[in-house]
């Protein structure tokens, strides 16, 4: 029996709706196999900007297999934590079916990942990162074990140079990674990385790289909370940089106004044309209070030549610094 046109139309519409639902799938699956380790359970966490949320724990099967299924509103950071405190970081997007496999004593150093472009990018970077990090740990062990040896000064110099070279090498690798992937959330992890106990990048020294990543992420993931957090970091860092530049020796000092002990407004520009010593102090600062008599002598000696002292208190309470002024 042939279906009537209206029935065919209804079936067609239903198929379209089902197809749309599948294309907007917010589910994420992470599965894989971990072998050659004593790990028995894995816990999945979602990383927000300032916190983490546990999504569930699974037991490895007798063959080491596992699977997590969860919902994701957008691309985000996740990590799988093993019961031996080792972990794997993932960058998952809605609809992805991610495969993670690892073998050996350290899942963070042996894992492979597929089904997630961002996670694969991060894993490729991490492979070289851990090689250099292991070299750093080896050099540090050599230093510790050689203490007390007659040739320790030579060993110390050699290992220190090795560690410095490893740091510079890793920073170069990380810099190239970010430049090649400025619109990747994997680069956001890299730019916040530490190498040993030292940050690879700082706001003061690497502003151009921070800005490059900011521009790339704002294009690729404009509404992502991690992108927006980095964007605010760049804005604040730029403001701090401008303030630091304004205080560079030789530049005109930025003006500011505060109230005196008599509650009268006084500005730095009120002393224009004079030599001014700006002295930051506080009633609770013993060295500051101890230096006050010497500053008085300095003022009396050079006041006739246009020398002035502008004391700026860091006290929270006006009463405290007013009392200190009277005492000193």
The pLDDT tens digits of the residues spanning 114-140 come to: 999 999 999 999 999 999 999 999 999
Exposed / middle / buried, residue 121 (Cβ in 10 Å: 0-12, 13-18, 19+): buried
User: Max Cα separation, the chain?
Assistant: 114
Residue with tokens 């292991």: 134
- pTM, rounded to two decimals: 0.76
Q: What is the pLDDT of residue 144?
A: 93
Q: b or e along 230-259 (b: 16 or more beta carbons within 10 Å of the residue's beta carbon)? A: bbeebeebeeeeeeeeeeeeeeeeeeeeee
Distance CA 268, CA 309 (A): 10
Q: What is the pLDDT of residue 264?
A: 87
Q: Which domains does the chain have, with CATH numbers?
A: 27-115 (2.60.40.1120), 126-247 (no CATH), 257-327 (3.40.30.10)
pLDDT tens by residue, the chain, 328 residues: 555 544 544 444 444 444 444 445 889 999 999 999 889 999 999 999 999 999 999 999 999 999 999 999 999 999 999 998 899 999 999 999 999 999 988 999 999 999 999 999 999 999 999 999 999 999 999 999 999 888 999 999 999 999 999 999 999 999 999 999 999 999 999 999 999 999 999 999 999 999 999 999 999 999 999 999 999 999 999 999 888 887 788 888 888 898 888 888 999 898 888 899 998 989 898 888 888 888 889 989 998 898 999 889 888 888 888 888 888 7
* CA dihedral for 47, 53, 55, 61, sign (positive or negative): positive
């Amino acid at each position: 029996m042939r279906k009537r046109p209206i029935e065919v139309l209804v079936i067609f519409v239903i198929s379209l709706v089902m197809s749309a639902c599948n294309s907007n799938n917010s589910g994420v699956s992470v599965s894989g196999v971990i072998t050659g380790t004593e790990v028995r359970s894995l816990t999945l966490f979602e990383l927000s900007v300032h916190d983490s949320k546990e999504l569930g724990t699974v037991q490895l099967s007798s063959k080491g297999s596992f699977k997590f299924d969860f919902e994701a509103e957008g691309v985000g950071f996740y990590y799988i934590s093993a019961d031996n405190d080792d972990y794997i970081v993932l960058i998952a997007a809605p609809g992805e079916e991610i495969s993670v496999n690892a073998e050996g004593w350290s899942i963070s150093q042996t894992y492979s990942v597929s089904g997630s472009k961002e996670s694969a990018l991060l894993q490729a970077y991490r492979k070289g990162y851990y090689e250099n990090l292991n070299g750093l740990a080896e050099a540090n062990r050599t230093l510790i074990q050689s203490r007390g040896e007659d040739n320790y000064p030579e060993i110390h110099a050699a290992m220190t140079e090795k560690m410095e070279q490893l740091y510079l090498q890793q920073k170069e690798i990380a810099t190239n990674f970010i430049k090649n992937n400025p619109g990747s959330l994997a680069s956001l992890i890299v730019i916040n990385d530490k190498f040993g106990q030292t940050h690879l990048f700082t706001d003061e020294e690497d502003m151009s790289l921070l800005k490059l990543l900011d521009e790339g992420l704002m294009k690729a993931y404009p509404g992502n909370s991690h992108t927006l957090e980095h964007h605010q970091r760049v804005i604040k860092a730029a403001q701090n940089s401008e303030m630091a530049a304004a205080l560079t020796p030789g530049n005109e000092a930025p003006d500011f106004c505060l109230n005196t002990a008599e509650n009268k407004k006084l500005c730095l520009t009120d002393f224009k044309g004079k030599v001014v010593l700006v002295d930051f102090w506080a009633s609770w600062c013993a060295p500051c209070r101890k230096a006050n008599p010497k500053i008085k002598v300095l003022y009396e000696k050079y006041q006739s030549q246009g020398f002035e002292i502008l004391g700026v208190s860091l006290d929270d309470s006006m009463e405290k610094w007013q009392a200190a002024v009277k005492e000193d």
